[in-house]
Copies of this chain bind each other. A is one copy, B any other.
Amino acid sequence: MVVSVAILGGSGYTGGELLRLLLSHPEVEVKQVTSRSRAGKFVHTVHPNLRKRTALKFVPPEALEPVDLLFACLPHGETAPIVDRLLELAPIVIDLSADFRLRDPAAYEQWYHWTHPRPDLLAQAVYGLPELHREEIRNARYIACPGCNSTTVILGLAPLFRAGLIDLDLPVTVECKVGSSGAGGEAGPASHHPERSGVIRPFKPGGHRHTAEVLQELTVCGRTPSLGLSVTSVEAVRGILATAHLFPKQPLTDRDLWQVYRAAYGQEPFIRLVKEASGIHRYPEPKILAGSNYCDIGWELDELPGGRQRLVVMSAIDNLMKGAAGQAVQAMNIRLGFPETLGLEFPGLHPL
């Protein structure tokens, strides 16, 4: 018996990608997709790749009926105020917004300049990153899917911090290079093609909100790294490459790193270690990940003048897949006891 699902906020890029995945998923049936502005229109008028795949039309949010599982894809700040209604509609809610990702209400004040309206519920939400929280996801009532930059950075770095390899007295610097789809489907001056095409543009040199999630998840034994995140926009629609620069406590070798990463991720279906001695695809790169749910991770050791060793960790995802809709489906599969890769088998295209 298939599981009934609905998507609240289905006209954006994340909602569209989720819809694409769910329409092909053998164990679920998409009952409703909402859009206030597009209500009454076929979903393929907004998501043209779904033409001939579904006869669904958008419904207004008020028309939502109870389902087994509800996906919420609203903009930041719009889910928390209506969370009680969502919990009435479905026994399981998977929220792709930022509203329940942070456990500490003060973090919302600091990073979002926003007083969280329902701090009472923050502790109940599970941070939906399967590689770090799989067991909690299995029984979660409310799953808060991580941000796209956060996913990329956390997956790249968590094994190192958990293994205690990093010198926490030294700063950690991370730079994410991101495509344009991460900013969403609404047109504006910064996304106007003549202005956005071909840019290498500092988007957020400091203070990016996803930093809060990264700090939360990389805090081990109460120690929060001194981590700074910069985000640069580059020419791509999908894709994030995070490059992290860290300084080990003790000098490391490639063998050490293979061991740490294999121990952490050897059984993970959606993580691949990419570190080749030759060829043009020696390191992770997001281009070949479009449409796939993989996170590719690699590294390089660099000896700096003065004898310090720098560890460069590179991780790559498709921001709309492992960074949003794909990860949400992965969490759903875990929560509902399906094979974790169900509906997420697409490997990505080459060349593209």
CA distance A301 to B226 in the complex (A): 15
From known contacts A171-B170, A200-B287, A201-B283, infer whether A310 and B192 are also in contact, taking CB-CB under 8 Å.
Answer: no
User: Given A197-B235, A201-B285, does the pair A171, B280 have CB atoms closer than 8 Å?
Assistant: no
Chain A, 72-99, contact with B by CB distance < 8 Å: what is the 0/1 string?
0000000000000000000000000000
Copy number in this complex? Answer: 4
Interface residues on A, range: 35 or more
Given A48-B281, A207-B302 in contact, is the A202-B241 Cβ separation under 8 Å?
yes
B-side contacts of A151, CB under 8 Å? none
Decide: B304 and A50 in contact? CB cutoff 8 A: no
Contact flag A305-B215 (CB < 8 Å), given A187-B192, A350-B16: yes
**When chains A and B are docked, how far (Å) is the Cα of A280 from the Cα of B316?**
26
Contact of A50 among B17, B193, B202, B347 (CB under 8 A): B347
Q: Which residues of B contact A298 (CB under 8 A)?
A: 202
Query: How many angstroms between the C-alpha atoms of A300 and B175 in the bound complex?
Result: 14
Q: A residues 279-338 with Cβ under 8 Å of B? A: 279-288, 290-292, 294, 298-306, 308, 310, 312, 314, 316
- Chain-B contact segment, one of A55-63, A125-133, A137-145, A177-185: A177-185
- Nearest B residue to A215 via CB reads B305
Residues of chain B within 8 A (CB-CB) of A305 are 215, 224-227
Chain B min CB distance to A107 (Å): 11
**What separation, in Å, do the CA atoms of A206 and B294 have in the docked complex?**
25
A201 to chain B, nearest CB (A): 5
Minimum CB–CB distance from A34 to chain B (whole Å) comes to 19
Of B177, B189, B236, B291, which contacts A291 at CB under 8 A?
B291
A190 at the binding interface (Cβ < 8 Å): yes
Q: What 12 additional pairs, Cβ within 8 angstroms, besides A13-B351, A173-B245, A187-B188? A: A20-B347, A49-B347, A50-B350, A171-B304, A173-B173, A197-B235, A200-B286, A202-B243, A205-B283, A206-B310, A228-B302, A230-B245
